[in-house]
Amino acid sequence: MRLTVLGCAGSFPGPDSACSAYLVEAEGFRLLVDFGPGAISALQRHCSLQGIDAILLSHLHGDHIFDACSYVVVRRYAPDGPYPRLPLYTPAGGKERLAGAYGSPDEGPLEDVYDFRTLSPGTFTVGPFQVTAERVNHPVETFGFRIEHNGRVLAYSGDTAICDALLRLAQDADAFLCEASYLDGADNPPDIHLTGREAGQVATKAGAGRLLLTHLVSAWGSESATLEAACGAFGGPVDVVRQGERYQV
Ligand SMILES: [Zn+2]
């Protein structure tokens, strides 16, 4: 499968990247994982505007979902549209949250655009992918994902602090796309995010093949310090991902 980073900025868009959005492709199927602000811009560099086949939202914080509102216009009002309803997997409350952000109650529901499917822990099929969702450790209900295709595994942390579920999701993953929002050594609040060192520790315990660090907060963090901390805890290849980069998993 192929991973394209459409956005990787943590918490708010950075000078060089949209917020979290990852295009995962196999057999011509395009699964969009998270849909943060600015991602529609990047999406158009990699496929047609209408080319997405399903959306998977890890949680309902704005930096992971708000372009799913902008995307309503794309599918509902396209000159050759409207386009077919798109499966959208979301934690509970996603239907109401997105409708509210779009303009409810003045605007109506979004069910003409999205086929909302509520996530619960477990394994399910999306196109050619087998997706395993587990709740991770973040202030709102948040899922991490293990996406499998043809024996290859991409694990995605979502937003999370250390938890056992993250270790299970990343077990023997070929690529572990993991958030590293916080700097090591800072006075970080508990149960929200990971540091680079913690991401590296999880990758080591899980036996991941490579570690892809994401969700760094560019204005407050340090890419070099995060990378160094992760490399100190994980002996395999480590990258800080960038918008537009592609990885064969
Ligand atoms: Zn979050």
For 124, list phi and psi in degrees, rounded to 5.
-145, 170
Ligand 1 centre to CA of 158 (Å) is 8
Given the DSSP bridges, would you call strands 2-9 and 21-26 parallel, antiparallel or unpaired? antiparallel
185 pLDDT tier (thresholds 50, 70, 90): confident
Whether 236 and 170 have beta carbons less than 8 Å apart is answered as no
**For residue 37, cis peptide bond before it (omega within 30 degrees of 0):** no
pTM, full prediction:
0.98
In this predicted model, what pLDDT tens digit does every residue of 27-72 receive, in sequence order? 999 999 999 999 999 999 999 999 999 999 999 999 999 999 999 9
Ligand 1 centre to CA of 102 (Å) is 19
- pLDDT for 1 equals 98
- pLDDT for 193 equals 97
Ligand 1 centre to CA of 27 (Å) is 30
Q: How far apart are CA 218 and CA 127, in angstroms?
A: 34
Ligand 1 centre to CA of 59 (Å) is 7
Average pLDDT estimate for 162-180: 98
Ligand 1 centre to CA of 13 (Å) is 13
Whether 207 and 235 have beta carbons less than 8 Å apart is answered as no
Whether 86 and 111 have beta carbons less than 8 Å apart is answered as no
In this predicted model, what pLDDT tens digit does every residue of 230-247 receive, in sequence order? 999 999 999 999 999 999
Ligand 1 centre to CA of 193 (Å) is 8
Ligand 1 centre to CA of 138 (Å) is 7
Average pLDDT estimate for 2-27: 97
Which burial class, exposed, middle or buried, applies to 61 when counting CB atoms under 10 A from its CB (0-12, 13-18, 19+)?
buried
Ligand 1 centre to CA of 5 (Å) is 18
Give whole-number Cα distances, 180 to 32, 67, 161, 188, 198, in Å.
21, 22, 9, 12, 8
